[in-house]
Amino acid sequence: MKREYITHSPQATKIVAQKIAKELQRKDEGPVVFALIGKLGSGKTTFLKGLALGLGIKKRILSPTFILMRRFKLSHSHFKSFYHIDCWRLESPQDILSIGWEKILSPENIIAIEWADRIKEFLPRDTIEVKFKIIDPKTRKITIKGKVL
Ligand SMILES: Nc1ncnc2c1ncn2[C@@H]1O[C@H](COP(=O)(O)OP(=O)(O)OP(=O)(O)O)[C@@H](O)[C@H]1O
Ligand SMILES: [Mg+2]
């Protein structure tokens, strides 16, 4: 399934993500993975903040410039943890394995990955692809491919 959104503010981008986060259901086969793909400043972190809001995360989401991964424990959710991964600084795709990638890929987790195109070969088959396009300074086109529900 493909959905397309045009947003005219960071807040609007967050709301799109927040709504999606609230719809998420666990699957037996594996985790819910969001591959966030788009140029610098296109809205990946902003969207991820919306996901975190929708999941009830109160902690601030940062751009993990020097960290590859951050984990947030979820309460009041049928998922256990939310992972924020940023592959911007990854030197080679295999380096993703160093954070315990195989373990993170568990049905109890939700994983959102910035610059996910850098680890394409390690993404599960049913990854939800979220692409960001800068239309103008305030406008983004967000294309979501994959089964959200
Ligand atoms: N409609 C919009 N949706 C999201 N962000 C927007 C929008 N309009 C303007 N912006 C601005 O674009 C920037 C998006 O920044 P953000 O950190 O989310 O991008 P990013 O894709 O994570 O960048 P990076 O590749 O550096 O991690 C912010 O400065 C935000 O204010
Ligand atoms: Mg970012």
8 CB within 6 A, ligand 1: yes
d(CA 70, CA 85): 7
Per-residue confidence (pLDDT) for residue 1, from 0 to 100? 81
Taking the centre of ligand 2 as the mean of its atom positions, its distance from the CA of residue 63, in whole angstroms, is 5
Residues surrounding ion ligand 2 at CB below 5 Å = 44-45, 63, 114
At a CB cut-off of 8 Å and minimum separation 6, what does 70 contact? Answer: 62, 64, 83, 84
Residue 108: the pLDDT is 98
Helix H or strand E encompassing 50? helix 44-54
Furthest-apart CA pair in the chain: how many Å?
40
pLDDT number for residue 148 = 79
pLDDT at 145 (0 to 100): 96
Give me the pLDDT at residue 62, please.
84
- Domain of 31, in residue numbers: 2-145
**Is 131 in contact with 143 (CB distance < 8 Å)?**
yes
The token duo for 44 is 């990946």
| Number of domains the chain contains | 1
CATH code for the domain of 35: 3.40.50.300
pLDDT of residue 124: 97
pLDDT in tens, the chain (149 residues): 899 999 999 999 999 999 999 999 999 999 999 999 999 999 999 999 999 999 999 998 887 667 899 999 999 899 999 999 999 999 999 999 999 999 999 999 999 999 999 999 999 999 999 999 999 999 999 999 998 76
